[in-house]
Amino acid sequence: MELIEYDVYKDLIASRTDKEKDLTMVTRQLDEVTSELDSLTSFLDKYEATQSELAESIAELEKTITSNNDKLDSKQVLADKANTDLEEATDALKEETERLKAMRDKYNSQETKDPELADQIKVAEADVVRLQDTVTAKQKAFQDLSDSIAALKDTIKSDKVAASTADEQSSNNKARKEDAEEKGELQELTNTKTERTAAKGEIEAQLNDFNTKNQDIITTYETQENSRSENIIKKPAERLYNRPPVNAPVLAKSMKVTRDVVKGAIDEGATGSEKDLRDDALSAGSEKAFNPDFMDVSEAREYTLKSIWSTKQVAEQIKEACENGKYEVRFPSLSDNIIYTLQHFGYNVVLENMDLNFAKDQDVLVSWSNMGEAEKS
């Protein structure tokens, strides 16, 4: 199997991505002009029918408005008469009520009650009840007419708005048609769609040709890379360079809470002498004489980075191979930072059995033998 270099693969992927972006862009542009063309074509095809429907609708609305205005005039006449009748009935009720009150006052002031007056009071009371019923009925009739007039006015107003909207739509349609015809918009959109369709076809052909020529190379590299991942363990950059984690703010808050909780638990109830004793013990406990392996946080960070970017993890195996007169040593797998470090210091690092289609049981071969011209690359 031919080995594919990463730079070759990277360039091919970049080229393919650029072509795919171009295809996505021209497809979007083609969709946009197609939508515009379809909209304009549909508008022009339906123009006459739409204008006719709008004209019919406007005529019908105007007819309805005229009819309702006539009804409104008639109802207003009836309402005026009903209001006059109501006022007359109300006046009659008021007059009869006052007459009844006067009769009652006169009757109540008599030492000897006049039976004829009593009969007249009864008749007047009945008249007041009758007149009150009349007023109530006329009030309802007038209110019904008023409600009917208000509803009719709302209907007329709504119909006028609808007629105005339809008329505006008809004017807009006419202006749009005339503008499209004057600018030759239909032909222009048709030409643009033809151009973009051709452009899309050309880019698709280029992409298909590119894939035909290069897909085997891309697939070969990815197959090799999948196999290499069995032997080359990739470490996250956050660890290799001691970068802050993505959730650093959350961790910082949690760390503060933990520190406060622990500090509170330890400090709570401690006397002054106990605190001094604790501080002295902390200082003494970090001395090399007592704790030879002690490292403060900066030393620990430095030590970790040194270990990451050193051959310390494989130095013992390399030394043992040298003592046995060998120029190479094999490992089932190595992390990418160790391979980088070995290569930095001039070691040759290859995968064995790469000529066997990257068999899964291959090893990482680290050698320090003279590889001639290959070594220079």
Domain boundaries, the chain: 6-197, 237-268, 272-304, 309-376
Q: What is the residue-level pLDDT of the chain in tens, covering all 377 positions?
A: 577 888 999 999 999 999 999 999 999 999 999 999 999 999 999 999 999 999 999 999 999 999 999 999 999 999 999 999 999 999 999 999 999 999 999 999 998 889 999 999 999 999 999 999 999 999 999 999 999 999 999 999 999 999 999 999 999 999 999 999 999 999 999 999 999 999 999 999 999 999 999 999 999 888 877 777 777 778 887 878 888 877 878 888 888 877 777 877 788 778 889 888 988 998 998 898 999 999 999 999 999 999 999 999 999 999 999 999 999 999 988 899 999 999 999 999 988 765 555 555 678 889 998 866 554 44
Structure tokens at 371: 């590889």
Eight-state DSSP code of residue 244:
P
CB distance 57 to 166 below 8 Å = yes
Structure tokens at 230: 């069995």
Residue 129: count other Cβ atoms within 10 Å of its Cβ.
Answer: 12
d(CA 317, CA 132): 120
d(CA 338, CA 281): 39
Structure tokens at 229: 């991942």
- Which CATH code of 1.10.287, 1.10.30, 1.10.132, 2.60.40 fits the domain covering 6-197? 1.10.287
List of residues 6+ apart from 305 with CB closer than 8 A: 242
CB distance 69 to 155 below 8 Å = no
For the stretch 273-286, what's the b/e string if a residue is b when 16 or more beta carbons lie within 10 angstroms of its beta carbon? Answer: eeeeeeeeeeeeee
CB distance 37 to 190 below 8 Å = yes
How many residues appear in the chain? 377
Burial of 338 (0-12, 13-18, 19+ CB in 10 A): buried
